[in-house]
Structure 1
Amino acid sequence: VVFEEGKWRIPSHYDYPADGKERLAKTAAGVIGIKKDDFRSDNVADHEACGVIDPLDETSTALSGRGQRVTIKGANDQILADFIIGKPVEGREGFRFVRVPE
């Protein structure tokens, strides 16, 4: 943990704010309400178009189509939720493509 520009940050976690309780609460609240609405594809070739390429996947050569990975952990680093949030769904306001990483 380092103190830079008036904020504590965690460099090993992409400079995530160490005092991010409010941000964590908002993220958790947003994930709680996620409901599966429709199924688009399980074909890896469609990941780029949907924007759900894992941003942590170092083997992917795609320059676009990387989503935002959201991982929520509980006690003892137990994973409670893990999603890749992708592009907005065309014609469906408030909807986004979401993928559960392998």
Structure 2
Amino acid sequence: MNDIDNRLRNTGQAFLAASWDRLRRERVVPPPRFHPYLRVGRDYFGGPVTPLAEYRVLEDTITASHPRFDAGRPLDERAFPGGLIFSFLETFIAQLTRAQEELSPDGPCRAVTA
């Protein structure tokens, strides 16, 4: 695994933990098992997540990971990390929900006994 992969993994994990905490306070997570697929703009708004320092660090790391995110690229050739970040977050939430797991401060996730 190279340096950018490690940075993406570490910043991604930090972002997921911070986002989970923020969305838990907003009562967005954990979602019900019958509706695990959240979508920004429908089930929650990005406002609680985008100001997080972890969001900014992940956004910068993604931007540094590939030239398609470069601000100097023409807009029709440029990608924006925000869409990837929200897809990443929503996929993570869906996987935890479908597995009946919840983010745990003691590890990446632990089984929920319900």
Fold agreement, TM-score > 0.5: no
Give the TM-score normalised by the residue count of structure 1.
Answer: 0.28
- The structure where strand makes up a greater share of residues is 1
Give the TM-score normalised by the residue count of structure 2.
Answer: 0.26
- The structure where helix makes up a greater share of residues is 2
